[in-house]
Structure 1
Amino acid sequence: MTVFADVQPVRSLAGQAYARLREAIDAGELRPGMRLREEDLATRLEMSRTPLREAVRRLEAEGFFTRDSRTLVVMTLDHQAVSELYAMREVLEGTVAAFAARHASEGDVALMRDLHAIEAGLLTRPQELARHNERFHSALNGAAHNRYLLKALNALRDARALLGSSTLLDADRAGQAHAEHDAIVSAIEARDPIRAEAAARDHIRAAGRERLRRLMQAS
C-alpha cells in the first residue's frame, strides 16, 4: 500500500506536466525545432525531474518531441508530413461541410454566420483572428453532428500543433480565408452538400499551399 501511495502522486504530477507541455506546444510557446533541456522544463513547471521525464516520454511516443543526442527537440514536420496532413484535412473537413449542409440546425447555421461576421472585424488583428478561426472551425465541426468525424479531426488537431504559427498571420491569406469561410457557410445555408464540400476542400487546399510556401521559404 505504501508503494501504491508513493506512485500515485508521481503519476498525477506527470499528468499535470504532460497537460502543461501540450498547452505550451498548442500556444506556440514551445515551437517546432526548439531545443530544450529537461532541467529547464522542470524549472519552468516547478516540479521535480521524475514526473517531468514521464511526461516527456509520453510526448516522445506521441511524436511531439524527439531527441538529438541528449537534447530534447520539439518535432518539426517536413514537407511530406505537411502534405499528408493537409490531404487528410481536405478529406475530413470536406466531409464535415457536406454533413453540416445535411444535418446542421438553424441554430448551428446562425452561430457560423455570427462567427463569420465577427471574423470580419478581426482581419487586421492577426493573433485574435487565429484564435477566432479555431472557434469558427469548431462550430463547423459541431454542425456536422457526427462524433466519429470529430474524433478523427481531434487526432489531426494534435498534429497541427506542430505546424507553427497560423497562416492567418499573413494579411492576404486572412482575407482569402474570410471569403472561403463565407462560401462554406453560404453552401450550408443553402443545404447544398456538394457545394459545401467543394468549398471546404478549396479552403483547406489554399491553406495547405500557403503552409508549404512558408516551409519552402524557411528551408
Structure 2
Amino acid sequence: MSSGLELVGRDSGIPLSEAVFRSLCQALCAGLYRPGDRLREEEVAQRLKVSRTPVREALGRLMAKGFVEPASGRGLVVRSLDAAEVLELYAMREILEGAAARLAAQHASQPEIDALTDLENAFEAQAGDTAEMARLNRAFHETIFRAARNRYLDSALQELQDGIALLGITTFSIEGRPATAAEEHRNLIEAIASRNPDHAEKLARIHIQEALRSRLRLLQER
C-alpha cells in the first residue's frame, strides 16, 4: 500500500535524493510499505513527482541499510525481520534508550520537556489512527534522544528507529497497547522533568520491554 507517499523535507534545502530517502523511510515507518511489498523506481518517481535519478540513489541507500533487497524480476522488495533479529533490535533499544532517558533527565531543557508533553497529548488524541500514533511515538522518542545531548547516541538510536520500519504493522494495533504506552510515556516524562536519571532509565527500559512483548505477540499472530 503506497497511496499516501509524499515528498518530505524538500523545502528545507536538503538534496532531492535525501528528501526522497526520508520520504521512503517515513512511508515504511507509517506502514505504507510493508515487508514483502515491492518498491519500483519508476512508480516511486511518479508518486513523488521527481526524476528517477534521486529515487535510484534513495533506493540504493535503503538497500545498503538492509531495508530492501532485490526482488525476482524488476524492483526491490521490503525486507522482513525474523524473530532473532527482532530480539537483537529490541535488546539494543532497551540499552540505548535507557541511556538516552538517563541523560535526558540530566540535560533536557524545559522547552524539550514541554515538547514531550505536547507530543504525548497529541498521541493520546489519535484514537484509532495507528499510523499517526506511530509517527508521534517516533517524534516523542526522538525528542528524548536529542535531549540526551550526545550526538553518537542519537545517531545510533536513529538507526534503530529506522530498523523498526521493517517490522511492519505497529504494535499500537494491539487492543490496549496505546493506553499502556501512554501511561509509560507519562511516567517517563515525569521522571525526566523531576531530574531523576536512575528512575528515567528504569522506566525507559521497561517501556521497551513492554513494546517487545507486544511485538512478539504480533509475530506469533503473523
TM-score after normalising by structure 2: 0.79
SS at 1:28 equivalent: coil
Matched, 1:65 2:62: no
Aligned to 1:178: 182
Aligned to 1:209: 213
Change (3 A) 1:13 1:68: same
Aligned to 1:91: 95
Aligned to 2:109: 105
How far 1:106 moved relative to its partner? 2.5
How far 1:90 moved relative to its partner? 0.6
Matched, 1:145 2:156: no
Instruction: Structure 2: give runs of 5+ residues left out of the alignment.
Output: 1-14
Aligned to 2:160: 156
1:41-67 Cα distance to aligned partner (Å, 9 max, x none): 565556776765554444322212112
Change (3 A) 1:143 1:50: closer
Instruction: Structure 1: give runs of 5+ residues left out of the alignment.
Output: 1-11
Q: Does 146-155 or 51-60 show the bigger shift? A: 51-60
Question: % of aligned pairs identical?
Answer: 45
In 2, are the aligned partners of 1:130 and 1:169 still within 8 Å (CA)?
no
Letter in 1 for 2:212: G
SS at 2:176 equivalent: helix
Aligned to 1:120: 124
Q: Which structure has more helix as a fraction of its residues? A: 1
SS at 1:66 equivalent: strand
TM-score after normalising by structure 1: 0.80
Q: Does 148-157 or 174-183 show the bigger shift? A: 148-157
How big is the alpha-carbon RMSD for the aligned residues of Structure 1 and Structure 2?
A: 2.7
Q: Does 170-179 or 31-40 show the bigger shift? A: 31-40
Query: How many angstroms apart in 1 are the aligned matches of 2:116 and 2:93?
Result: 19
In 2, are the aligned partners of 1:127 and 1:169 still within 8 Å (CA)?
no
How far 1:25 moved relative to its partner? 2.6
1:169-205 Cα distance to aligned partner (Å, 9 max, x none): 3330001101111121121122111111010000011
Change (3 A) 1:56 1:106: closer
Corresponding residue pairs, total: 207
Aligned to 2:7: none
Letter in 2 for 1:65: V
Query: How many angstroms apart in 2 are the aligned matches of 1:175 and 1:158?
Result: 24
Name the larger-Rg structure.
1
Query: How many angstroms apart in 2 are the aligned matches of 1:29 and 1:104?
Result: 33
SS at 1:73 equivalent: strand
SS at 1:33 equivalent: coil
